[in-house]
Chain A
């Protein structure tokens, strides 16, 4: 099964180039509803492609998912309800923007954690500098010469 999946993925891998994405006949008549559909389909992953949203993909499955999204919207679902419907069918894997939960907390907070760590290290650095002995390494002979040289010229 896994082998078939890999073979399939390699097959599809050559196709992103000619992706035609959403086709005119799929689109909804109501521009407001269609705009919402586009917004939602951009956040859903094409599950047989490699890192493409269903809005960008020309795979058959992506097309089916696009149609499904539009059907849900026509039935009056909100954006959240539509997304929830697709997650119920395909799992969190379809969300290009994973929900904030226990196992994704590290992902969502990583930028702020890195920044915080950087600021902490910087604070520590300044603290070390403040407590470091004020006297620097004494000037070497060549430095001393250079200094005198400059002083004489000046």
Chain B
């Protein structure tokens, strides 16, 4: 029953989406208020119907209705409730439904909170959202129907891949999709602006919070995926330059650029054409990501369904969306006025350089991801593009960008002076250089490539803090005055300072763990010890235990450091009878400066166990830094001027200098 209700809701939502995509657009063109108003009701109705379909499939999973194909293929009656629910998006059909649900939720958000948008703009934005919805609902209904029944129904399900039975991974796809799909807002606003032929600071004020929100979700999603890979895959890797990871990194890079270029549109009414183009590119890259994961066109450790029809369908959607938007751009962009002028040394230029670097990085990652496909298409050669290629260009370009990030906030809008910035920043440069020399001295001969990375991270963190110190004028005034200034400072300022410090932490963490990881792979008998990094590790015992839906081999280790006992750690190897596979549960001891990571493998004929041990310095900084970025983004979102859907409240009481949007 639930499956039929779901199927019905899905088809209804598809029909509503078609209405939402067409009539309001016609209404906006003919200035018909009733047709424009239809967009809101359609968005709400579409969201309700998609939500109902999603609830229906979730109910099928929770109630273990194995007559539904994807439930039988991906769930099992023994599975804990949480993973029955997470199983909904642990497969192709369900995850596409989640994708569309999130799209509909963003549409709902515009319908509910965007009441102060000019009605033509709201109608157009929602119509574009409706078009994307129509495309993806058609994709689900015609190629990936989650409600397909099996006959006869199996007695029990196949179970979910145990690797995916993990809280980190259960929440990874929703966050990632909130990010990917969130960029559709920027896209819809960009296309609506092209139709209207008008981009102004008010437009940027509407777009920026949505983009920032999507960016926060995407950052969080990528971070969760990386964290999960680290603790679950059993060898301490946190980024593999896998095509599907690249698929999430590309929209992140473009989205980060977009968040920054929108600032220039908002504050300076410049860079409008570029920002529109970037909004289109960012969402297109999100679609490329969806295409990569869903089509299986590129081999990746993440491959899900590899069904050519699906790949072709998504490719079609991608071409229609991107191609359509770019064509519109080519026609309309020249009519957008060139914005305000600025000199080559200015805050604007630093933000443009940020865009140049981020987009170049996204472009280079794109080229790397698709290059093997390209080469095999144009020649008989087959090549691989792996981590060494990305490591060749990504870190150096990122470091140069981080230097610019430190300088940018110290340049004035319109016309800055590099000498003024230098006068303020030289103290940061000095401390950063001192950091570099200290690191060089402490790590002499080992991983000296971390030296510039740590020095530049220090530079970025310090210069960001200096922005705060300057704004609060810490050097003068009583603590009470400083506190008063601190309260008055815009949240957006705190947000960007915190987010930039987050980047510095991520970069430092990556440098540290790449340069100074130590690893021991050996065989240990029970009672024997070995060492890794500054730790001595003794294998105390190996036993067996049973979990709710798995059997586990449990190895206990005693860890000492400089002769002092520091911890007892337990590593597991689990066997899941359904669907019959193994996972490694590493023993992980987390400290701010390093992580000790132990795993147990097989036993040999002589009774010795294979153990893998890693000491990973600073690795936690990577994920902590991502969290700091998300916190920064969130604080920025609470800024009055940026509040999602409520930008009008932020208008100054005095007549504004900025021309009012219609």
Contact = CB atoms under 8 A, between A and B. Distances in A.
B235 A19 contact: yes
Contact of B306 (A6, A53, A56, A91): A6
Contacts of A9: 299, 303
A103 interface: yes
Contacts of B235: 19-21, 56
A45 interface: yes
Contacts of A91: 381-382
Contacts of B359: 114, 118
Contacts of B523: 24-25
Contacts of A153: 654
Interface string A129-154: 10010001100101101110110010
B588 to A, nearest CB: 16
A45 B397 contact: no
B278 to A, nearest CB: 12
B31 interface: no
A93 B379 CA distance: 13
A142 B386 contact: no
A130 B357 CA distance: 24
A111 B581 contact: no
B363 interface: yes
A122 B360 contact: no
Contacts of B475: none
Nearest to B386: A96
Contacts of B82: none
B161 A14 contact: yes
Nearest to A96: B386
A50 B301 contact: yes
Contacts of A103: 375, 378-379, 381, 383
A81 interface: no
Contact of B582 (A18, A25, A50, A147): A18
B514 to A, nearest CB: 12
A65 to B, nearest CB: 14
Contacts of B342: 129
Given A10-B303, A17-B163, A98 B378 contact: no
A92 interface: yes
A142 B660 contact: yes
Given A51-B301, A114-B359, A97 B163 contact: no
B654 A93 contact: no
B371 interface: yes
A83 B76 CA distance: 46
B360 A118 contact: yes
Nearest to B299: A50
B240 interface: yes
B388 interface: yes
Instruction: Identify whether the interface residues of A are mostly helix, strand, loop, or mixed.
Output: helix
Contacts of A27: 521
B657 A143 contact: yes
Interface string A93-123: 1111110000110111011001100110010
B657 A114 contact: no
A116 B368 CA distance: 18
B471 interface: no
B167 interface: no
Contacts, number: 170
A94 B659 CA distance: 59
- Identify which of B353, B384, B654 gathers the most chain A CB atoms within 10 Å of its CB: B384
A119 B357 CA distance: 10
A150 B397 CA distance: 45
Nearest to A50: B299
A22 B360 CA distance: 36
A19 B233 contact: yes
B112 interface: no
Contacts of B340: 136
A132 B338 contact: yes
A61 B133 CA distance: 45
A21 B655 CA distance: 67
B93 interface: no
A77 B659 CA distance: 72
A80 interface: no
Contacts of A41: none
Contact of B356 (A18, A51, A119): A119
A52 interface: yes
Contacts of A45: 384, 386
B202 to A, nearest CB: 13
A42 to B, nearest CB: 8
Nearest to A45: B384
B324 interface: no
A110 B364 contact: yes
Interface in A64-101: 91-98
B306 A18 contact: no
A24 B385 CA distance: 28
Interface of B: 161, 163, 232-235, 237, 240-243, 299-301, 303, 306, 337-338, 340-342, 344, 349, 352-353, 355-357, 359-361, 363-364, 367-368, 371, 375, 378-379, 381-389, 392-393, 397, 521-523, 581-584, 601-602, 604, 610, 612, 654-657, 659-660
Q: Which 10 A-B pairs have the closest CB atoms?
A: A96-B386, A118-B356, A114-B360, A97-B388, A111-B393, A111-B364, A110-B367, A146-B655, A114-B363, A93-B382
30 contacts: A14-B581, A16-B301, A17-B583, A21-B612, A23-B521, A23-B601, A45-B384, A50-B242, A50-B301, A51-B243, A51-B299, A51-B384, A56-B235, A94-B384, A95-B384, A96-B385, A103-B379, A110-B363, A110-B368, A115-B356, A118-B355, A118-B356, A122-B352, A125-B352, A136-B340, A137-B337, A143-B657, A145-B655, A149-B655, A150-B657
Given A96-B384, A115-B397, 5 more contacts: A14-B581, A20-B602, A92-B384, A122-B353, A146-B656
